[in-house]
Amino acid sequence: MIQITRKDGKESLENMLRRFNRKVQQSGVILVAKQNQYFEKPISKRERRLKAIIRQERKAIKMKKIKLGQK
C-alpha cells in the first residue's frame, strides 16, 4: 500500500497529490489492476507466439500499403 505524508506543514495538497500519482505510476499498481480487470483464458506459449507473428505481419502489410498510398 502506498502512503504519502506531508514533507513539512506547508506542503500544498497539489504537491502531495502529484507525488502520490507519481508513486502509483511507478509501482505499477494500475497496470496490474487493468490486466486483472477481465479474465483471459490461459493459452500456450506457442499460440501466443503465432498470434504475435501474425499481428506483426499484418501491421507490416498495412504500413507498406500506407507508404505506397493505397488504402
pLDDT tens digits in sequence order for the chain, 71 residues long? 788 888 888 889 999 999 999 999 999 999 999 988 988 788 888 998 999 999 999 999 999 999 999 87
Provide the domain limits for residue 69: 43-71
All cell numbers assigned to 61: 502489410
Report pLDDT for 52. Answer: 96
Report pLDDT for 56. Answer: 98
Report pLDDT for 36. Answer: 87
Check: CB of residue 23 under 8 Å from CB of residue 42.
no
3 state DSSP class of 71: coil
In terms of domains, do 35 and 66 share one? no
6 alpha-carbon distance from chain centroid: 29
In terms of domains, do 34 and 7 share one? yes
* pTM of the predicted model as reported, rounded to 2 decimal places: 0.49
In terms of domains, do 1 and 25 share one? yes
